[in-house]
Copies of this chain bind each other. A is one copy, B any other.
Amino acid sequence: MTTDFSGWRAELQSAMESVLDRHLPPVSQPPGKLHQAMRYAVLGGGKRVRALLVFAAGELFCAPRDALERAAAAVEMIHAYSLVHDDMPCMDDDDLRRGKPTVHRQFDEATALLVGDALQSQAFDVLAGGELAADRKLDMAVLLARASGSSGMCGGQAIDLDSVGMALSLSELEQMHRLKTGALLRASVLLGGFAARALRPDEEEALHAYAQAIGLAFQVVDDILDVTADSATLGKTAGKDAANDKPTYVSILGLDASLALAEKLRQDAHQALQPFADGARRLRELADLVVQRKA
């Protein structure tokens, strides 16, 4: 039986809540306050786009469910840790995330620092567990480490820091986002494949092109929503980029050209999936979701 996209998505988003719950240390285990704060940072919200990408690619390659759950939990933990650190006063200094006070506001700064650090370790611990063959898990761990570190997400954040108040060119802005959000989105797609088997170069290239397109689309849409949506809808502070004088697609291209670019990237993503025919249905639907989302 084939479920429609919104059913598939709702089922997985709800399943991820219990998958994450199972793979996070319990509050009953000391240090209880740290574990409580880790759970606060990860559970109860988020669109789980990265987890959905893991499952969609995993479905395409018929990867085992437990391995996909672990990979999805690991990328969501890495994503959550990056948000916790990103929200801290020395970075974006934000009070609101997923509609709740940020971790350093709810607890304190030192706890937020440790929550992020411990979530990163937890992600690798979860990914390295389970029944999959050692070489599969190792490939996945290397992929996640590279996507997270200085040649991926952290590197993008460093470039972002240095770009505040600067006039970035479109290609510099693209390069920054390719690392800052693109690397982890790309890893999510590939993790779904790696959980099944080592991929052929042409398969990896097609997934890479797809991930590249939705990664940029994701950011273009984020920039559009930052000026068109309100904080209540976003669950985070709207208008923040403009207020901080951060270069965005909208500030460089304008709103109309940004909307057109997002649509072009959606089509690029579909194009990249052609070799996979029907198997890639969920990945196509996710590309549409990334571009058409309202928050």
Point out residues on A near B: beta carbons under 8 Å. Answer: 25, 29-31, 33-35, 38, 81-82, 85, 88, 90-91, 108-111, 113-114, 116-118, 120-122, 124-125, 128-129, 133-135, 137-138, 141-142, 144-146, 148-152, 154-155, 157-159, 161-162
Contact B121–A149 (Cβ < 8 Å): yes
Determine the chain B residues whose CB is within 8 A of the CB of A149 once the complex forms.
117-118, 121-122, 125
Does the CB pair A30–B159 fall under 8 Å?
Answer: yes
Residues of B within 8 A of A38 (CB): 150
Q: Which of A90, A109, A122, A134 has the most CB of B within 10 A?
A: A90
Pick from B85, B114, B124: contact of A154, CB under 8 Å? B114
A141 touches B124 (CB 8 A): yes
A90: contacting residue among B113, B125, B142, CB under 8 A: B113
Contact of A125 among B129, B134, B145 (CB under 8 A): B145
Asked whether A124 and B110 contact (CB < 8 A) given A154-B34, A158-B33, the answer is: no
Which B residue sits closest to A82, measured CB to CB?
B117
Decide: A125 and B142 in contact? CB cutoff 8 A.
Answer: yes
Asked if residues A91 and B113 are in contact (CB atoms below 8 Å), the reply is yes
Contact across chains for B117 and A146 when beta carbons are under 8 A apart: no
A196 to chain B, nearest CB (A): 16
| CB contact under 8 A between A150 and B129, given known A33-B158, A34-B158, A113-B88 | no
A270 and B152 alpha carbons, distance in the complex (Å): 44
Given contacts A85-B117, A138-B128, A155-B34, contact A122 B110 (CB under 8 A): no
Task: Name 8 extra pairs, CB < 8 A, besides A116-B117, A124-B144.
Answer: A31-B150, A91-B113, A114-B154, A114-B158, A118-B150, A121-B145, A121-B150, A124-B145
